[in-house]
Amino acid sequence: MTDTQYEQAAQHRLAVVGAGVMGTNITALAAGHGVDVTLVDVDEEILTAARRTVRQKLQHAQLMGALPAGRPRGTVTTTAALADVADATTVIEAVVEVAEVKRKVLAECSALVAPGTLLISNTSCVPVDEMAGWVVRGEDLVGVHFMNPCYLIEMVEVIRGSATGDATMDAVGGLLDALERQALVVNDAPGFVINRLLHPLINRAAMLVQEGVADAETVDGLLEGCLGHSTGPLRTADLIGIDNLVDSLRVLHERTGDPECAPCELMLRKVRDGHNGRKTGRGFYDYESATERPIR
């Protein structure tokens, strides 16, 4: 991190709403780059777990050499009071991919912050134009799709809605530069680029397991060895969270009508059983055993 980037980081006061997988990822990324973060969720039990998770992710980032050397970390403050976002220079919504939940959070946050405050949704699939109708000032809203784990993956997908203002695009560029992220800007659409491609691929991979064509390890091995997929689609599903994927696939299916986006029965069954991937210890693979193994 250059001196200029560090000075930029110190100018930001970030509020992250939602202390799940992506909320804690974004918090670790920002704190590791010298940005003070207020992390908001609904109760202290969730926040207690989130504080522990953020510490673990910061340690992982440090071990991987993903944090700038010789720079102090930003502070992390947790709170169950949404009103504590009011003084932030940027608010990032990182709640579940359920439109009703996002609508409530974004509407309340936009009413609390001053005009011109950068309002970011870490949306996976819900279009920015749709969300712009939920906030007080649609010109302040932009989508930033951080990848998991975002403290290791430098590329981000920035989604500009039709109402997103030039000042907002300048502001999001400044924040991402301070966080040493590389941004590619895309136009608004359900799922944008990454998830419009990735989520149907994961769904189809799960269908192959469901139909008995191959087990998860074989499907992943073929995608890794033949097509260069870094982790395989089903290990990726476990990392994202199968419940999150099902929510996102439903959003895509409802908004595009693409039958490839209707969640397959195997994924739905895993969610019903509480087998959502790494965060629950079981998904397409078993993470509770001494060695990671596929569930057959």
Catalytic residue positions, numbered: 145
Helix (H) or strand (E) run with residue 201 in it: helix 194-210
Burial 56-78 (b: 16+ CB within 10 A, else e): ebbeebeeeebbeeebebbebeb
Q: Would you give the end-to-end CA distance of the chain in angstroms?
A: 45
What proportions of the chain, in percent to the nearest 5, are helix, strand and coil? 50, 15, 35
Q: How far are the Cα atoms of 2, 56, 58, 235, 240 from residue 63, in angstroms, in the given order?
A: 20, 11, 9, 22, 22
Q: How far are the Cα atoms of 46, 170, 176, 247, 283 from residue 161, in angstroms, in the given order?
A: 32, 14, 18, 22, 34
Is the bond preceding residue 259 a cis peptide, omega within 30 degrees?
Answer: no
Contact 164, 142 (CB under 8 A): yes
Angle at 169 between CA 54 and CA 158, to 5 degrees: 55
Residue whose tokens read 């966080």: 179
Query: DSSP E strands: which ranges in the chain?
Result: 13-17, 36-40, 76-79, 90-93, 118-121, 141-145, 155-160, 182-187, 285-286, 293-294
Q: Of the candidates 164, 165, 124, which has an alpha carbon nearest to the alpha carbon of residue 145?
A: 124
- The residue type at 85: V
The values of phi and psi at residue 266, to 5°, are -60, -45
Q: Distance between CA 8 and CA 214 in Å, rounded?
A: 50
